[in-house]
Amino acid sequence: MSQEFLRTPEQVIRYLGARDPEAVQHLFKALQWAPEEFSRETGFHVPGAEIPGAIPVVRYRISVIDPGAGPPMWNEGAEYITLHIPELRDKREEELFAVRVKGDSMEPTLRDRDIVAFWTGGAREPGRIVAVHVHWDGVIVKRLQRYNGSWHLYSDNPNHPPVPLTEEDRILGVAATLVRKM
């Protein structure tokens, strides 16, 4: 095969689709794209790559805040991540935000520099990981628990003691998904 045969990305995808359709499916899975989304975003149609009955993919553009910062808000200079979160398919982008984990208080569940996406409409139940704007430290990521009739914020790392949730603190959202930084 000559290099001239596969000059464009579209030609490469078409060739791969014709030669090994399963490889194209693995490519889509690695890219976390549905074939329909790939076609829509690139304009390339891959024969045989359609999945009958596939659920359309919705990608969210979510602002990322650092711990200790104020509550999430629209900011033109903010960092954003783009995610597909099937469980939140019917939610609005405005209902989602992300927090970059800092430190070891939530290890082993969450590691330093992980990014956790939160949904503002999530159920605030015991055991859920939440983003909370605490009056003394800005935004923190902790596990919500009930103890002796009061709400407390727990770390998964036992070296960090629980702290009571006060009237000045505000739960901003419940964890929806994790983006692990490698």
pTM for this model (two decimals): 0.64
For the chain, which domains are there? Answer: 3-42 (no CATH), 59-179 (2.10.109.10)
- Looking at the DSSP bridge assignments, the partners of residue 131 are 141, 173
Per-residue confidence band for 92, with pLDDT thresholds at 50, 70 and 90: confident
User: What's residue 2's pLDDT?
Assistant: 45
* Residue found under tokens 């509550």: 71
Nearest to 126 by CA among 144, 106, 147, 150: 144
Let me know if 104 is exposed, middle or buried by CB neighbors in 10 A (0-12, 13-18, 19+): middle
DSSP string, 7-56: -SHHHHHHHHHHH-HHHHHHHHHHHT--HHHHHHHH----TT---TTPPP
* Residue found under tokens 């702290």: 163
Give 120-169 pLDDT, tens digit per residue.
Answer: 988 889 999 999 998 877 889 999 999 888 999 999 999 999 999 999 99
* Helix, strand or coil, per DSSP, at residue 76: coil
